[in-house]
A and B are shown apart, each in its own frame.
Chain A
Amino acid sequence: GENVEQHPSTLSVQEGDSAVIKCTYSDSASNYFPWYKQELGKRPQLIIDIRSNVGEKKDQRIAVTLNKTAKHFSLHITETQPEDSAVYFCAARRGGSYIPTFGRGTSLIVHP
């Protein structure tokens, strides 16, 4: 089955810096890659996703890049703010499947 590795497990940055979280996946048939943000005590919520026919996608301060050949994808957050502090999960899902496989999560801490 699919295996998703996520790094780092913890990331600490100063407000205004950029943050990058990286994930690798094992199943070459995976074609959908969502990112979820989970604030403390809250539920995970989708913040951005990318499909395998696209190499990069941006939404304001966040962007996701995908390298299908290397089977890795990354989340980039620019101009970080304290409210970006949360746990971020990447996931991968193969075509025709209902089930995403999640990474272990990255705890992002943005210091004011």
Chain B
Amino acid sequence: DAGVIQSPRHEVTEMGQEVTLRCKPISGHNSLFWYRQTMMRGLELLIYFNNNVPIDDSGMPEDRFSAKMPNASFSTLKIQPSEPRDSAVYFCATLAGVNTGELFFGEGSRLTVL
């Protein structure tokens, strides 16, 4: 398996633009997580899905952020409109099941909002 695949790896955009980050999980992994990483706040959990259903989105900072998982092989995180404070690395991670331990992270999407 190629692991968790994220795109784009780097995105530079201007304030107010819409940003869509994409994630392809490892096949068979039932849980998918979106994290945001910054120097100031470390690794923050934004939202997680179990069997394609959003379970906990309490970490989503505000209504500008939305996430979907239309099927078991694809998820998106959308920011509209983007702001400079959204600049961060966004990681997608997957877990095989509640009885397993390891989170498998993608390579991350580095977002810069000017």
Contacts and interface: CB of A to CB of B under 8 A. Distances in A.
Interface residues of A, number: 20
Given A98-B31, A98-B95, A49 B42 contact: no
A45 B70 CA distance: 27
Interface stretch (B14-22, B43-51, B61-69, B79-87): B43-51
Contacts of A46: 101-103
Contact of B91 (A43, A49, A98): A43
A96 B100 CA distance: 10
Interface string B93-114: 0010010011101111000000
Nearest to B102: A46
Given A43-B105, A43-B106, A105 B42 contact: yes
A42 interface: yes
B56 interface: yes
Given A34-B102, A98-B48, A98-B95, 16 more contacts: A32-B101, A34-B101, A43-B91, A43-B107, A44-B105, A49-B101, A89-B42, A89-B43, A97-B98, A98-B50, A98-B55, A98-B98, A99-B48, A100-B103, A103-B42, A104-B42
26 contacts: A34-B101, A34-B102, A36-B103, A43-B91, A43-B105, A43-B106, A43-B107, A43-B108, A44-B103, A44-B105, A46-B101, A46-B102, A46-B103, A49-B101, A49-B102, A96-B98, A98-B31, A98-B50, A98-B55, A98-B98, A99-B33, A99-B48, A99-B56, A102-B42, A103-B42, A104-B42
Interface of A: 32, 34, 36, 42-46, 49, 89, 93, 96-100, 102-105
